[in-house]
Amino acid sequence: MTEEEPYTIAWEEETGSIVYIDQTLLPGQCRVVRCTTIDDLARAIRRLEVRGAPALGIAGAMGVALAAVRSTEEDLDRFRVEVGQAADLLRGTRPTAVNLAWGIDRVIRKVAMAASVEEAKRLAVAEANAVAEEDELTCRKIGAFGEGLFPNRCTVLTHCNAGALACRCWGTALGVIRSAVAAGKDVRVIACETRPLNQGSRLTCWELARDGIDVTLIPDSSAAYLMRKGAIDLVIVGADRITGDAVFNKIGTYMHAVAARHHKIPFYVAAPVSTFDLTRTEEEVTVEERNRAELAYCGERQLAPDDVAVLNYAFDATPLDLVDAIVTDIGVLRQPYTESFRLIRK
């Protein structure tokens, strides 16, 4: 991992720590931060220094490994309790992205299997690294399956950041875009700014421009008008959780899906199998609500009066009937999803 070509998040073997790009500083600075405590990791996740569903899965897995290697406990039962408490703390940081709990659980299962503290530490680090390495492969598969959905020449709208920064590298929705470009297609990207935290303008624009991919920034509110003008050929977004009836993704995704259907534009979702949570329905998922300051202030500048109530959902749910296809690492799933989701349940 170098400042020039970093993975979004990685395990640093020599120091037994997690290193990640602090995404709150982009696009101004690409700074790699070292994290050595669970409290710091929990804070980093809450502040969105590390964010995006697959990257949260890696952070959760590495967080459990961090708790394991940093523990001084010698008794296996007490060690497991300590690591379990760290896992619970991390699990509670962001409730909507299912990958966070998925990554944590993968490593906790290894800790539960171990016959000694030493073995538990070794297995925890190995599993966390496996979660990270698999993510790269998964994104490449999503890209390869998804790029076939793109015409040779197209303008694609995306929302939030489902790119290299939201994963270990390459990305899900932006991974499909990267794979289409790599296949020689002429792809132009329209990136929605993604208010209020601007993952679109700060992160998607940064990483696509850095790769030389044609990207234009728009305010979220102009997406429907561009569709009406015929300027968008398709929409592709990532996902934080896919239940049996809906796709949870960054707030604003649903309005793009409604507008796309109205204008007969394909609306695609790209996500790994680990993002599916088919045992739940939309109603059973907690949608994260974030603090009022994200809307009421822009840095130091006040944007809303003190006494005005603010409702700041971080995610929304798009019903599956508005989704034309879901690109996964095992292939492209289409309607009727009751049938195609059988492949996920296997």
Position 97 contacts ligand MRU (CB under 6 A): yes
Can residue 314 be called a binding residue for ligand MRU (CB under 6 A)? Answer: yes
Is the Cβ–Cβ distance between 280 and 244 less than 8 Å?
Answer: yes
Instruction: Specify the stretch interacting with ligand MRU by CB under 6 A; choose among 219-227, 233-241, 322-330, 338-346.
Output: 233-241
Q: Could you tell me the smallest distance in angstroms from the CB atom of residue 90 to ligand MRU?
A: 14
Piece of 140-148, 221-229, 234-242, 258-266 that binds ligand MRU (CB under 6 A)? 234-242
Is residue 240 a contact residue for ligand MRU (CB under 6 A)? yes
Verify binding: residue 52, ligand MRU, rule CB under 6 A: yes
Interaction of residue 274 with ligand MRU, rule CB under 6 A:
no
| Choice among 135, 220, 240, 324 that is catalytic | 240
- Nearest distance from C-beta of residue 211 to ligand MRU, angstroms: 16
Q: Could you tell me the smallest distance in angstroms from the CB atom of residue 97 to ligand MRU?
A: 6
Cβ proximity of 141 and 329 under 8 Å: yes
Check if 321 is active-site. no
Count residues binding ligand MRU (CB under 6 A): 18
Q: Which positions touch ligand MRU (CB under 6 A)?
A: 48, 51-54, 97, 160, 162, 166-167, 172, 199, 238-240, 249-250, 314
